[in-house]
């Protein structure tokens, strides 16, 4: 039984692949999207438990996608973690202004991302659960 | 006022004490002004006025020695300086040589030369005091009197005090000038640096961002691999492959950025080789076939028309590879990419199109900016990094370096493939050599040179009596030719008009490096096809402009004012003039920081124009006759050219003289003396343009007489260069038969009789004979016509 559904959005296909693998190993069900528009569609249709959202994307960037997600009644309660190559404070500020719940800069550690996701979703890691 | 009689004293201190109160006050005021006023024009004005009042002088002049060249300049109160040539045997020469004051009392009515060019009225006595600071000679102070006089000791002291203060002021002015030059240079360097820094920091921030993506992948995969070492289900091999791929991407990104900065920073020079378009295109496609085949993409190549072009094959292959890579990236699996080459006019056009998603219209212009983030959706979620995003920017830089242009377009509805199309157009003609472009780069953007170029076209127009002249230069960035200065053209017509090398007459002359005389453009078989409709004249001259031996442009002359065709005489004169233009540009490039170098050339060129426009000396007719006489005397063709050229400029010293006196013709004795100095003044004016000693010799000696009674050196017979003897005769004829404001022209018979009478006295008999032959032939030709 999956711990939850995570939507991973990034136009870099390799990043999507590795997050798919890591989150899958952690026991999550992973959905993927390669741009903002796809992400909105999947979020509305699948109601994921959390969204990992890249900022620099074609068509609809991460900020715009996040704003639209937070404006939609059926999606506004889904936690969003922004993921971007931009690392300056101003970007983080904008990230929180558009309603993001957390922010991780690239290059990032997949393990730490998993920890953050677990924390937000109130889940322990697989190891913690085994110990419990 | 005067200092009164009976005042004596030799020592300086004594003298100072003996100055009458008013003189002392005037001196103090002058010295104070010179010590404290920053503007030398103002303080010199006060000093000159006070010196005149205190000594009862009629005039005072300041000559400045240019510290770099050692040349003399007349300093005016307005701050304007004009070159000055010390009179032979005059006080300035004496003071310069002896480094001591010269108090010329002017007694006994001696007619010693007294720098007659300096004064409004020839003075009776002149005091000349050297201006020395430390051991540096900075100039000379000259005070003129209209009566013979002697100089009492206090007066000498007065002059010395003014001279000392002047020397300090001049030294300060020189320092300020040096400082100002230095400041300008620094400001310029700073601006360049800040532009470069801005570009570099832009590049760096983009680069930092671009590097982070592959770096993120590498880090994420490595960490995941490390955490799953014992996990049999982890696709470890695939992870390693991706890491390897991302490392390659990092490496190629670094190379790309390095290349881009090299190309855009202008460090890259082209190694042009002739290639066949068809072969070139096939080669690029063959190299990319593997990458296309892996994804089932059909890569096709069509060459509609082959041509041989001069390109840097290695660089251009890189540009094409980037374009094809870009197309492959956006084409769907099993899609298609087409490359098409064709020739249109004097350009060849290449296009690469794909059947991927369309390129948004708003991106057509920005797609070439470095690191354009593709808004075109990649099909099937494939990795978006076959080739880096800098690829298009590099391709465009390379194409621009070849003098071409590049653009993106959306295919017309119904076209296949229907995705995006990237096109480039390059001139079929070759570009100027890297060396020519490097030299040209030193000239563009310099305001002082632009002025010189404008003066040059005006001078050429005046010399050849034509109404249309242009100076065309190599564009340092594109390698084609552009109009740097022009006269007689509609400015709107010529702005931005360009021509590639080899195309049109100008392009052909620049490529061949040989001067061209076209008598009738419509029938001239070399250019019939190339004529530009804008030039309505049939006859034209076009001469390559060489700097350091390299062709960096051409000088074009069209539209002769009398409607005739140009002839060999005109061509030879334009060649000689253009050589001088080249040497002026060469000097300007060699001393990029010296304003004086360009100013001197500018002055010389402007004098040449005035000589022909205002004084109508050195006109075409005179040049043609001088050349005809020289040919008649069996002189070598090269010497004929020199004599013709000198005929057009030998009286240039008169320009300055006319400006001084204001009314040519009615000369008093002193002015006549000044006129005798004009050959030397001519040489002085021409110095910045003239590199041939023989030209200077000819000019200097054209007023020498066969019997040794001429000036300035009193040479006789064969001592006088033949060219000068020719000039003397042609010149005399010209001035006898041309109407002047103060004198009606003489009849030809009278003039001829005068020449015969002076043969063996003023003129060389042989030259007079040759000249009369030329005249006879001219009238025969007129009779035939």
* 8 Å CB contact of B217 and A12: yes
Could you give the CA distance from residue B78 to residue A46 in angstroms, rounded to a whole number? 86
Q: How far apart are the CA of B220 and the nearest CA of chain A, in angstroms? A: 6
pLDDT of residue A42: 93
Each domain of chain B, given as residue ranges in start order, spans 12-180, 262-427, 431-606, 614-785
State the nearest Cα–Cα gap between A34 and chain B, in angstroms.
7
The answer to whether A13 contacts B384, with C-beta atoms less than 8 Å apart, is: yes
Distance from CA of B223 to the nearest CA of A (A): 7
Number of domains within chain A: 1
B373 and A56 within 8 Å at the Cβ level: the answer is yes
Confidence of residue A28 (pLDDT cuts 50, 70, 90): very high
> How much is the average pLDDT of B598-614?
82
Q: In a 3-state reduction of DSSP, which class is residue B430?
A: coil
Distances (CA, A) of B243 to A12, B227, B249: 14, 15, 10
CATH code 3.40.47.10 for B12-180: no
Rg over alpha carbons for chain B, rounded to the nearest Å, is 36
Give the CATH number of the domain where residue A106 resides. 3.40.50.2300
Cα separations in angstroms, B553 against A38, B443, B545: 59, 12, 5
- On whether the CB atoms of residues B77 and B60 are closer than 8 A, the answer is no
Query: Is residue B409 predicted with pLDDT exceeding 70?
Result: yes
**Min distance B383 CA to chain A CA atoms (Å):** 5
B601 lies within 8 A of chain A by CB: no
The more confidently predicted of residues B151 and A1 is: B151
Q: For residue B4, what pLDDT is reported?
A: 44
Q: Which is higher by pLDDT, B2 or B137?
A: B137
CB B439 within 8 A of CB B589: yes
Q: How confident is the model at residue B6 (pLDDT cuts 50, 70, 90)?
A: very low
Determine whether the interchain pair A110/B378 forms a contact, defined as Cβ–Cβ distance below 8 Å: no
Q: Please tell me the distance from the alpha carbon of residue B180 to that of residue B183, in angstroms, as a whole number.
A: 5
Q: In Å, what is the CA distance from A105 to each residue of A35, A96, B43, B585, B760? A: 18, 14, 69, 57, 100
Among 3.30.310.220, 3.90.180.10, 1.25.40.390, 1.10.3210.10, name the CATH number for the domain at B614-785.
1.10.3210.10
Judged by CB atoms closer than 8 Å, whether chains meet at B219 and A109 is answered as: yes
A88 CB neighbours in chain B (<8 A) are none
Res B387: pLDDT: 44
pLDDT at residue B747 greater than cutoff 80: no
Distance in angstroms (rounded) separating the CA atoms of residues B404 and B395: 11
Most confident of B65-79, B305-319, B584-598, B723-737: B723-737
pLDDT average, residue stretch B8-24? 60
The CATH class given to the B262-427 domain equals: alpha beta
Q: What is the interface pTM, i.e. ipTM, of the complex?
A: 0.86
**pLDDT at residue B142 greater than cutoff 90:** yes
Q: Which residue has the higher pLDDT, A66 or B111?
A: A66
Instruction: Note whether B610 contacts A: Cβ–Cβ < 8 A.
Output: no
Query: Contacts of residue A21 in chain B, CB cutoff 8 Å?
Result: 224, 234-235
The string of pLDDT tens digits covering residues B149-203 is: 888 888 898 999 999 999 999 988 888 878 887 887 787 778 767 766 776 666 6
DSSP B301: E
CATH number at B431-606: 3.30.450.40
Strand segments, DSSP code E, in B69-170 are: 72-75, 81-84, 102-104, 125-133, 136-145
pLDDT band for position B522 (50/70/90)? low
The strand pair at A50-54 and A29-33 is best described as: unpaired
Give residue A6's pLDDT.
95
Stretch among A17-26, B472-481, B593-602, B665-674 having the lowest mean pLDDT: B665-674
Average pLDDT, chain B: 79
Per-residue pLDDT at B111: 47
pLDDT of residue B532: 47
Residues of chain B with Cβ-Cβ distance to A14 below 8 Å are 217, 221, 242, 246, 383
Give the closest of B213, B221, B231 to A12, CB-based: B213
pLDDT of B130 above 90: yes
Which residue would you say has higher pLDDT here, B10 or B161? B161
Token pair of B392 as six digits: 């298009």
- The reported pLDDT for the residue numbered B744 is 67
Top-confidence range, B78-82, B475-479, B762-766: B762-766
More confidently predicted of B681 and A90? B681
- Least confident range from B4-13, B420-429, B543-552: namely B4-13
The reply to whether B431-606 and B614-785 are identical in fold is no
Separation in Å, CA of B382 to nearest CA in chain A: 7
Share of chain A above pLDDT 90, in %: 43
CA of B42, closest CA in chain A: separation in Å? Answer: 59
3-state SS string over B504-542?
A: HHHHHHHHHCCCEEECCCCCCCCCHHHCCCCCCCCCEEE
Comparing B441 with B95, the larger pLDDT belongs to: B95
Sort out which chain A residues have CB atoms less than 8 A from B209's CB and list them. 85-86
Q: Across the interface, do A14 and B383 touch by the CB < 8 Å criterion?
A: yes
Q: Residue A87's domain spans which residues?
A: 5-131
Is the CB of residue B217 less than 8 Å away from at least one CB of chain A? yes
CB contact under 8 A, A108 and B216: yes
Q: Of B215, B224, B381, which is closest to A22 when you measure between CB atoms?
A: B224
Establish if B209 touches chain A: CB-CB under 8 angstroms: yes
Cis peptide before B722 (omega within 30 of 0): no
User: In this model, does residue B365 exceed pLDDT 80?
Assistant: no
Contacting B with CB below 8 Å, chain A residues are 11-19, 21-22, 25, 34-35, 56, 58-59, 85-86, 106-111
- Chain A hits for B373, Cβ within 8 Å: 56, 58
* B526 pLDDT more than 60: no
Measured CA to CA in angstroms, residue B782 lies from B624, B748, B777 at distances of 15, 15, 9
C-alpha angle with apex B596: B595 to B599, nearest 5 degrees?
A: 90
Question: Is B216 at the interface with chain A, CB within 8 A?
Answer: yes
> Who has greater pLDDT, B439 or B218?
B218
């Amino acid at each position: 039984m999956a711990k939850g559904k995570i939507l991973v959005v990034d136009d870099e296909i390799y990043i999507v692949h590795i997050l798919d693998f890591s989150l899958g190993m952690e026991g999550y069900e992973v959905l993927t999207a390669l741009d903002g528009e796809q992400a909105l569609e999947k979020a509305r249709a699948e109601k994921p438990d959390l969204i990992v959202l890249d900022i620099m994307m074609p068509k609809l960037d991460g900020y715009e996608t996040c704003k639209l997600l937070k404006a939609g009644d059926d999606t506004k309660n889904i936690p969003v973690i922004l993921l971007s190559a931009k690392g300056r404070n101003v970007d983080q500020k904008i990230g929180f202004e558009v309603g993001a719940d957390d922010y991780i800069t690239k290059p990032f550690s997949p393990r730490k991302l998993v920890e953050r996701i677990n924390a937000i979703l109130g889940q322990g890691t697989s190891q913690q659960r085994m110990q419990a | 006022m005067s200092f009164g009689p009976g005042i004596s004293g030799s020592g300086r201190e004594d003298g100072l004490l003996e100055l009458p109160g008013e003189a002392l006050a005037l001196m103090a005021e002058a010295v104070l002004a010179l010590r404290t006023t920053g503007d030398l024009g103002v303080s010199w004005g006060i000093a000159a006025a006070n010196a005149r009042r205190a000594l009862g002088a009629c005039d005072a002049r300041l000559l400045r020695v240019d510290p770099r060249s050692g040349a003399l300049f007349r300093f005016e109160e307005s701050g304007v300086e004009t070159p000055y040539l010390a009179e032979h045997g005059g006080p300035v020469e004496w003071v310069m040589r002896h480094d001591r004051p010269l108090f010329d009392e002017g007694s006994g009515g001696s007619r010693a030369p007294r720098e007659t060019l300096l004064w409004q009225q020839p003075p009776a006595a002149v005091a000349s005091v050297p201006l020395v600071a430390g051991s540096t000679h900075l100039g000379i102070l000259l005070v003129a009197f209209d009566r013979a006089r002697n100089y009492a000791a206090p007066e000498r002291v007065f002059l010395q005090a003014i001279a000392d203060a002047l020397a300090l002021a001049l030294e300060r002015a020189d320092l300020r000038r040096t400082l100002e030059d230095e400041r300008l240079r620094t400001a310029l360097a700073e601006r360049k640096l800040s532009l470069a820094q801005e570009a570099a920091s832009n590049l760096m921030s983009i680069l930092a961002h671009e590097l982070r993506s592959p770096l993120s992948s590498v880090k994420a995969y490595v960490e995941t691999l490390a955490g799953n070492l014992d996990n049999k289900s982890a696709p470890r091999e695939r992870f390693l492959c991706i890491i390897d791929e991302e490392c390659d991407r990092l490496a190629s990104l670094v190379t790309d950025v390095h290349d881009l900065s090299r190309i855009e920073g202008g460090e890259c020079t082209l190694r042009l080789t002739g290639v066949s378009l068809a072969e070139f295109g096939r080669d690029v496609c063959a190299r990319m076939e593997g990458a296309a085949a892996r994804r089932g993409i059909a890569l096709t190549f069509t060459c509609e028309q082959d041509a041989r072009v001069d390109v840097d094959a290695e660089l251009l292959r890189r540009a094409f590879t980037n374009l094809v890579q870009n197309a492959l990236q956006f084409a769907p699996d099993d899609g298609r990419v087409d490359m098409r080459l064709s020739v249109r006019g004097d350009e060849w056009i290449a296009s690469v199109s794909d059947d991927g998603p369309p390129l948004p219209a708003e991106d057509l212009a920005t797609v070439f900016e470095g690191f354009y983030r593709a808004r075109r959706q990649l099909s099937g979620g494939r990795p978006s990094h076959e080739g880096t995003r800098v690829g298009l920017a590099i391709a465009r830089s390379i194409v621009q370096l070849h003098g071409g242009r590049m653009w993106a377009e959306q295919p017309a509805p119904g076209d296949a493939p229907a995705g995006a199309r990237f096109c480039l157009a390059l001139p079929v003609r070759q570009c100027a050599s890297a060396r020519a472009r490097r030299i040209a780069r030193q000239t563009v953007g310099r305001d002082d040179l632009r002025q010189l170029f404008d003066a040059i076209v005006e001078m050429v127009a005046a010399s050849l009596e034509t109404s249309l002249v242009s100076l065309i230069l190599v564009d340092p960035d594109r390698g084609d030719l552009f109009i740097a200065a022009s006269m007689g053209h509609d400015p709107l017509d010529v702005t931005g008009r360009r021509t590639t090398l080899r195309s049109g007459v100008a392009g052909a002359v620049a490529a061949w490096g040989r001067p061209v005389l076209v008598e009738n453009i419509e029938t001239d078989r070399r250019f019939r096809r190339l004529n530009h409709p804008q030039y309505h004249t049939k006859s034209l001259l076009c001469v390559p402009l060489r700097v350091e031996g390299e062709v960096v442009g051409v000088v074009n002359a069209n539209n002769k004012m009398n409607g005739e065709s140009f002839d060999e005489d005109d061509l030879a004169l334009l060649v000689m003039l253009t050589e001088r233009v080249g040497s002026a540009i060469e000097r300007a490039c060699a001393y990029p920081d010296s304003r004086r170098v360009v100013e001197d050339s500018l002055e010389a060129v402007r004098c040449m124009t005035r000589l022909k426009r205002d004084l109508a000396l050195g006109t075409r007719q005179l040049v043609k006759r001088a050349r005809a006489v020289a040919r008649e005397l069996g002189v070598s063709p090269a010497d004929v050219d020199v004599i013709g050229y000198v005929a057009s400029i030998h009286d240039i010293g008169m320009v300055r003289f006319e400006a001084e006196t204001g009314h040519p013709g009615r000369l008093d004795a002193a002015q006549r003396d000044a006129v005798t100095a004009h050959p030397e003044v001519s040489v002085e004016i021409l110095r910045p343009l003239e590199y041939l000693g023989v030209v200077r010799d000819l000019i200097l000696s054209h007023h020498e007489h066969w019997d040794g009674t001429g000036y300035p050196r009193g040479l006789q017979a064969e001592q006088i260069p033949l060219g000068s003897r020719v000039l003397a005769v042609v010149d005399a004829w010209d001035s006898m038969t041309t109407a002047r404001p103060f004198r009606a022209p003489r009849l030809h018979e009278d003039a001829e009789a005068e020449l015969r009478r002076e043969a063996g006295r003023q003129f060389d008999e042989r030259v007079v004979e040759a000249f009369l032959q030329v005249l006879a032939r001219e009238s025969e030709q007129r009779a035939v016509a």
